[in-house]
Amino acid sequence: MRRERRVLTVGALIARGAARLARARVFFGHGTDNAHDESAALVLHALGLPHSGSAALYRRRVGRLAEQRVRQLLTRRIRERIPAGYLTGVTWFAGARIEIDPRVLIPRSPMAELIERRFAPWIEPDHRLRLHRHHVRARFAACTGGCGRYLG
């Protein structure tokens, strides 16, 4: 007798992937900082789905071949310990999509959070430094030589 296969959704694949990544104790911090976000990046890439989608996207059913692509990508992430961005060729930084390859250092999220908050609470909306009451006259962008290409 044939066993009936349970149909999975995008959201269920992300949850399964997050559980696998957590069990495997992979390191996060190269574009994501937790198993769920890392799994979402891998699942959405494997399925060719947009990075930001509606709730309906996560309820979308996934076929057997698509599920296999997701499983293979997650397995590679776990076995080879390669960050998701290097596997997919894309990372996100402060809401911007950036194409990368293994020559690029993936930006860390704490800097993105500062940028997204416009450096609050240290810099006021009128660009005054809150701590020293000086105006911001210059900005410094640090990169270690292999910055990705901004696709904003």
For 43-92, how does the pLDDT look when each residue is reduced to its tens digit (9 = 90+)? 999 999 998 778 899 999 999 999 999 999 999 999 999 989 999 998 87
pLDDT at position 128 is: 56
The rounded mean pLDDT for the chain is 80
The confidence band for 4, taking pLDDT boundaries of 50, 70 and 90, is low
The confidence band for 126, taking pLDDT boundaries of 50, 70 and 90, is low
Euclidean distance between CA atoms 81 and 72, whole angstroms: 13
Cα 70 versus chain centre, distance: 15
- Please give the DSSP secondary-structure letter assigned to residue 5: P
* Phi, psi of 92, rounded to the nearest 5 degrees: -120, 135
The confidence band for 152, taking pLDDT boundaries of 50, 70 and 90, is very low
Euclidean distance between CA atoms 151 and 123, whole angstroms: 27
Task: Report pTM.
Answer: 0.72
Under 8 Å between Cβ of 127 and 134: no
Other beta carbons within 10 angstroms of residue 90's beta carbon come to 19
For residue 103, give the 3-state DSSP assignment: coil
Element (DSSP H or E) covering residue 13: helix 10-24
pLDDT for 148 beyond 60? no
For the CA atoms of the chain, what is the radius of gyration? 19
pLDDT for 19 beyond 80? yes
The confidence band for 151, taking pLDDT boundaries of 50, 70 and 90, is very low
